Amino acid sequence: MFSDKRRQFLRQAATAGIACSANSFLSRFAFAQPPPNSGDVARIYVDSRRTIAPLDRNLFGSFLEHLGRAIYEGIYDPGSKLSDGAGFRKDVMEEVRQLGVPIIRYPGGNFVSGYNWIDGVGPKKDRTRVLDKAWNTIDTNQFGTNEFMAWSKIVGSRPLMGLNLGTGSAERAAALVEYCNIEKGTKWSELRRTHGIEQPHKVGHWCLGNEMDGPWQIGHMTATEYGMKAQDAARQMRAVDPSLTLIACGSSGPGMPTYLEWDREVLEQCYEYVDALSLHRYIGNTQEETGKDSTKFLAMNLSMEKQIAETLAVCDLVRGHKRSAKKLWLSFDEWNVWYRARNGDAMDGHEKEAPHLLEEVYNLEDALLVGGIVNTLMRNADRIKIACLAQLVNVIAPLVTNANGVLRQTIFYPYSWALQWARGNVLNVLVESPTYEVSEMGQVPYLDVAGTLNPEDGKLSLFVLNRDLNKAHTIEINWQDRTPGKVLSSSVLTGSDLKAFNSFEAPQRVAPQSADKPSTSGGRTNLELPARSYTAIQWSA
Ligand code: AHR
């Protein structure tokens, strides 16, 4: 079983002193925040002419892997009273459609590195049951590429297809592109047509493998070997369809001993053949990572900000070496909180179908950090064009199913607010916040702010995390060039118990509340943010 090896590997690496923990870098990292403000009132300055970049909606993508109950029982459950004729869970489709998830990575994850996509196409009665070695699970293959494309269309999402560069060859990867994207007249496009799909799926975005730096990965190889394989796959795939957007595998996290060196070596081989580099990150409120200190946990999105800056530095270093005109962007194609359902039976399918794997139960503090991560992604919108909340249903997910319905976990809310209200250009908001000391991170601002302004309708949205566990904070918003109109919506996620979570029995224990609608006068708005909260507020033009 390969995936359990990830945790084991990282633990051993740390003991041997070869893994660089994310935090060991933190004290040296100058956070992109203004000088500390020792007063109690925070001030933010918003100038609509000062923007970071247009926000790519794919920044709020998600991920579905053949893992546990994500596909089977999550989105596909032909035996369920809640499913349609194709076996798709209607309640889940409705949630995903309403969320408006723009792009979904599929079919893995670790799973993809041993997956033969041919097992999952063609008449269902002929598809075989296969033992997936990544999660030690039986995959019936009743759901495959064409089912995913059909489901994506219904929920209004585009696919971000993962390719097997572990056991799979570059030739097989190009064959999948041909199967998906060529209309007719070639071996693989004709195979698709015999499977009853006349029109090509026209998949634009492709991941060249998954976490190939990880010794837990099926087919793990050295950076140079992977970089050469990625280059070969890219060339063959582009020969089939030159319009593709291709993402190479970067480091799977800053705890890897090969962190950044992997990225550099990979890009030395394939820089000119790809458009983007991936990065992944899972955060835990654990003894090792945060000392189980929630004040530090809520600051961990800033350590992701540092990871983004370091990964971009490597991309630009290789660009310099190659004297390339091309500037790569990043695909943060796996991110979330994940640390409880991360060992033992939660990681081992015991050769069963649809086992309960990685079923993390999310609490209030996880949701607050997810809000902070959403802010971090927005602030880096100039170089991150895709990011995927990992994952979408049942497996480390905002949505959980049982036989009778679907539950919204706490992390659903900050993610859904970004999808709903973050539109247009990301604002370069100047924040002056009081700070607090965090071990290995130095002074961290209590308030974490991101904002967007939609030039089409003039709507302006702000997203604010208050990391203070004990105190409400007031922010004075200074509108520098234009004052907004009226408050259209104002929601807050907060509560007295950071460890509170939702369940099918108590689905509303952690749910959004409507917040005060502050008034604006003299070019200023005062906004009160409760302790332990994440707030989203939108104004009209
Ligand atoms: O998302 C769960 C797993 O985490 C993915 O399969 C893998 O890519 C990562 O290690």
Q: Is the CB of 390 under 6 A from ligand 1?
A: yes
Q: Taking 90 as the threshold, does the pLDDT of residue 313 lie above it?
A: yes
* 365 assigned to active site: no
The answer to whether 212 and 114 have CB atoms below 8 angstroms apart is: no
Q: Which atom, in ligand 1's list, is nearest to the CA of 252?
A: 10
For 105-147, write each residue's pLDDT tens digit. 999 999 999 999 999 999 999 999 999 999 999 999 999 999 9
Give the model confidence (pLDDT) of 157-206 as tens digits: 999 999 999 999 999 999 999 999 999 999 999 999 999 999 999 999 99
User: What pLDDT, on the 0 to 100 scale, is given for residue 34?
Assistant: 45
- Residue 436 Rama label (left phi>0; alpha psi -120 to 50; beta): beta
Cα 254 to averaged position of ligand 1 atoms, centre (Å): 15
Mean pLDDT of 47-68: 97
Q: What global pTM score does this model have?
A: 0.94
Q: Taking residues 420-440, what's their average pLDDT?
A: 97
- For 439-467, how does the pLDDT look when each residue is reduced to its tens digit (9 = 90+)? 999 999 999 999 999 999 999 999 999 99
Tell how far the Cα of 217 is from the centroid of ligand 1, in angstroms. Answer: 10
Q: Is there a contact between 361 and 406 (Cβ–Cβ < 8 Å)? A: no
Three-state secondary structure call for residue 180 = helix
Do the Cβ atoms of 430 and 60 come closer than 8 Å?
no
The pLDDT mean for the chain works out to: 94
String of DSSP letters for 340-405: SS-SGGGG--TTEES---S-PPPBHHHHHHHHHHHHHHHHTTTTEEEEEEE-SBSSS-SEEEETTE
Provide the pLDDT for residue 16. 42
Beta carbons of 255 and 10 less than 8 angstroms apart:
yes
State in Å: Cα 109 to ligand 1 middle. Answer: 5
- Per-residue confidence band for 3, with pLDDT thresholds at 50, 70 and 90: low
- Mutate which of 7, 211, 249, 332 to test ligand 1's pocket (most atoms within 8 Å of Cβ)? 211
Q: Which of 210, 213, 249 to mutate to test the pocket of ligand 1 (most atoms within 8 A of CB)?
A: 210
Query: Which residues lie closer than 8 Å to 245 by C-beta, 6 or more apart?
Result: 204, 205, 206, 275, 276
Q: Cβ(490) to ligand 1 under 6 A?
A: no
Distance CA 72, CA 285 (A): 29
How confident is the model over 246-267, as pLDDT tens digits? 999 999 999 999 999 999 999 9
Residues 6+ apart with CB under 8 A from 81: none
Cα of 346 from ligand 1 centre, angstroms: 13
Higher-confidence residue: 30 or 157? 157
Give the per-residue pLDDT at 41.
79
* 285: its two tokens: 């409120």
Q: Give 524 Cα–ligand 1 centroid separation in angstroms.
A: 45
- Percentage of the chain with pLDDT > 90? 92
C-alpha dist (Å) from residue 227 to 208, 374, 387? 10, 30, 22
pLDDT of res. 30 = 36
User: How far is Cα of residue 358 from the mean position of the Cα atoms in its chain?
Assistant: 16
* Ligand 1 contacts CB of residue 251 (under 6 A): no
- Is residue 213 in contact with ligand 1, taking CB distance under 6 Å? no
Ligand 1 centroid – CA 477 distance (Å): 40
Task: Read off the pLDDT of each residue in 91-95 and give the average, rounded to a whole number.
Answer: 98
**Which residue lies with its CA nearest to atom 7 of ligand 1?**
109
- pLDDT higher than threshold 80 for residue 67: yes
Q: Whole-angstrom Cα distance, residue 69 to residue 352?
A: 11
Band of residue 21 on the pLDDT scale cut at 50, 70, 90: very low
pLDDT of residue 7: 56
Ligand 1 nearest-atom number relative to CA 134: 6
Identify the residue whose C-alpha is closest to ligand 1 atom 9. 109
- Give the torsion through C-alpha atoms of 410, 416, 417, 418, to 10 deg: 120
Task: Flag whether pLDDT at 70 surpasses 60.
Answer: yes
Mean pLDDT for 271-299 is: 98
- Dist CA 275 CA 281 (whole Å): 20
Q: What pLDDT, on the 0 to 100 scale, is given for residue 79?
A: 96
State the distance from the centre of ligand 1 to the C-alpha of 360, rounded, in angstroms.
13
Catalytic residue among 65, 73, 178, 211: 211
Q: What is the reported pLDDT for 18?
A: 36
Are 434 and 497 in contact by the 8 Å Cβ rule? The answer is no
Q: Is 334 a known active-site residue?
A: yes
Q: Is 6 in the pocket of ligand 1 (CB under 6 A)?
A: yes
Nearest CA residue ID for atom 3, ligand 1 = 109
Q: Which residue has the tokens 């909260």?
A: 533
Among the listed ranges 25-39, 142-156, 255-269, 486-500, which one has the minimum average pLDDT value? 25-39
